[in-house]
Amino acid sequence: MRNKVKIQKLIFLIDCSGSMNGQPIESIKQTLTKLTYRLEKYKRYRVKVDLQIIAFNRVARFISKYSICNMVATDKTNLEDAYRKLGLIYKTQRHFDYPPIVVLLCDGCPNIGNYHRALNKLYAYPEFRRSKRLAFAYNTTSIDALAVLREFPEIPENTTTNNSIGEIVATVERLLDKTVKGNFYNSSKNLSAVYKRYKKNNYNSIYK
């Protein structure tokens, strides 16, 4: 049990609509590729970070971490379908070792679909409500876009405008560090306390 590897889900919802074409999508692809290697460091804490990527434009689709470089920015923004795909994760996996970390990265308002409908369905899942959810308005300061994104995180103030993918990933890493390392050290302390009680009880039984 002590050596059991636990899973921390890290889910990115990436806007791949036409307005993200060019430098924005290329920057995202490069940084996410680097991130896949950086996540290996958490294995020392007996945690595997399961990175899942949902890329969305007119439709949403799961992207393998091995095919990040194939993401193409084109077409409209269908946030409803992105939320629907996210819902499949919570529907098929009812239990998580740790609350998932979900990051929404979008540069504008949805212009297709009804995202409220899909978002309301997400809130029906207790594990979604417990998830740590962040939203970044990338490459935009639109008040309307910010209003849409603020509906996603568990704390609306976690929605920020940031044009640096590197800083966004650094924010996610800090959250991972806090969650993974915190759980690891708390678990180690608990195991140590159990072992000490066991040792004490064993000692008393021998010398009674």
Phi, psi of 207 (to 5 degrees): -105, 15
- Cα 63 from Cα 107, distance rounded (Å): 19
Q: Check if the beta carbon of residue 176 is closer than 8 Å to that of residue 102.
A: no
In DSSP terms, 55 is beta-bridged to 14, 61
pLDDT at 188: 52
- Nearest one of 183, 41, 22, 49 to 103, comparing CA atoms: 49
Name the least confident of 83-87, 137-141, 201-205: 201-205
The CATH fold assigned to 6-207 is Rossmann fold (3.40.50)
Average pLDDT over residues 123-147: 92
Average pLDDT over residues 177-193: 68
Name the least confident of 60-64, 80-84, 140-144, 179-183: 179-183
Retrieve residue 81's tokens.
């379908």
Name the least confident of 41-45, 160-164, 169-173: 160-164
pLDDT at 94: 83
| Helix boundaries (H) for 2-78 | 23-38
